[in-house]
A = this chain, B = another copy of it.
Amino acid sequence: MTTLLTLHDLLVDQLQDIHDAEHQILAALPAMSNAAFDEHLQDAFVDHLAETHEHIDRLIEVFGIVGAMPKRKPCKAMAGLIRESEEVLNSTGDRDVLDAALIAAAQRIEHYEIASYGTVRAFAQRLGMDDAAKLLDKTLDEEGNTNKKLTKLAEGGMLTRSINKSAAKN
């Protein structure tokens, strides 16, 4: 049972959650990259892997600023999100449709991170911990950009090809 007496307690609790989530993403990304058919999608996952390492380094720095140990609290939500991405890896079918499914799973992961970093940034700002808030804001920006990049990839790539293939069959 968690005891949350102050906003600082909650900030640390939430940082531990996203810290664990980032490590889970780090472990999941290589399989997602390997499973992608589209090479731009493979690259996007590889790029995000490098970014995720930076996000973890930044979190360690934030833990230092807020005066807490960089612990991890098992993030059950991310475990569920990654299990859903694994379901895509175990699916069969058309390569463009499978890539679109992989992007859908990845965008849910991104949205979890966007919600999480938005929350911890707001808490750090309220607590007057501006240096921590700035670091968290930088990561939040990058997660948002990854999400947009995935949308563009789907729109300009596998969705268009899927529709063209379906039309060609009719």
Contacts and interface: CB of A to CB of B under 8 A. Distances in A.
Given A10-B100, A100-B10, A101-B10, A108 B3 contact: no
5 contacts: A13-B101, A76-B83, A76-B87, A77-B81, A107-B119
Contact of A122 (B87, B91, B159): B159
A65 to B, nearest CB: 17
B127 A94 contact: no
Contact of A93 (B9, B92, B163): B9
A114 B13 CA distance: 24
A151 B90 CA distance: 37
Q: Chain A contact residues (Cβ within 8 angstroms of B): what range?
A: 35 or more
Contacts of A10: 97, 100-101, 104
B5 A94 contact: yes
Contacts of A92: 1-4
A31 interface: no
Interface string A34-67: 0000000000000000000000000000000000
A146 interface: no
A154 to B, nearest CB: 7
A14 interface: yes
Interface string A84-110: 100100111110011011001001101
A69 interface: no
Contacts of A81: 77, 80
A27 interface: no
B94 A84 contact: no
Given A84-B76, A111-B112, A97 B6 contact: yes
